Structure 1
């Protein structure tokens, strides 16, 4: 079994996992946007940590680069856009990994 065939056999799983991970991350950032309407919610307690922990690192980094506009933190919106773009470029209908997967399926 060659390295190419091993890689080709793992492509469907990689494609599915990456698509789900990017979709879940987008959803977490969307939850962060909605939760900004409820400032009393503590993202460091209970089930809210499932939203806070995977997103806070990127938000902390991007808040240093992008200041709040009119007192509103726009970084979650920016990350939703960037992750959606990445998802489309990699695993979307015309994404790179999707095209490689289609090509490998047509070969064999």
Structure 2
């Protein structure tokens, strides 16, 4: 088993989970009264906050709307497609070996 296949098995679910959590985070921004430090919301907040915090410093909320989770969904989807898509880098490497 080569490294490209192993990377695909690890990165595929990991990137999928992060995209799902970011989408869930977008939904949570519609409810500002939700306490992100309480269960079950902390299960979504803790893994996503290290990514969202620095991006919020670069692009602050516009008109009270936090667009950082939306941008992360786009970034993670792009990375997933480049690496694991039908003609992604890791997919092509796995086929060659």
Q: State the TM-score, normalized to the length of structure 2.
A: 0.93
Partner of 2:71: 78
Partner of 1:30: 23
Q: State the TM-score, normalized to the length of structure 1.
A: 0.84
**Cα deviation, residue 17, structure 1:** 1.4
Partner of 2:80: 87
Aligned length: 97
Report the more deviating stretch, 40-49 or 71-80. 40-49
Gaps of 5+ in 1: 1-5
Pairwise CA RMSD: 1.2
Moved over 4 A (4+): none
Partners of 2:60 and 2:33 in 1: how far apart?
Answer: 22
> Quick check: which has more Rg, 1 or 2?
1
Partner of 2:43: 50
> What secondary structure, in the 3-state scheme, does the structure 2 residue paired with 1:29 have?
helix
Give yes or no for contact 2:4–2:91 (8 Å, CA) kept in 1: no
| Match among 44, 62, 78 for residue 69 of structure 1 | 62
**Cα deviation, residue 76, structure 1:** 0.5
Gaps of 5+ in 2: none
Higher relative CO (Cα under 8 Å, sequence separation at least 6) belongs to 2
Partners of 1:45 and 1:65 in 2: how far apart?
Answer: 27
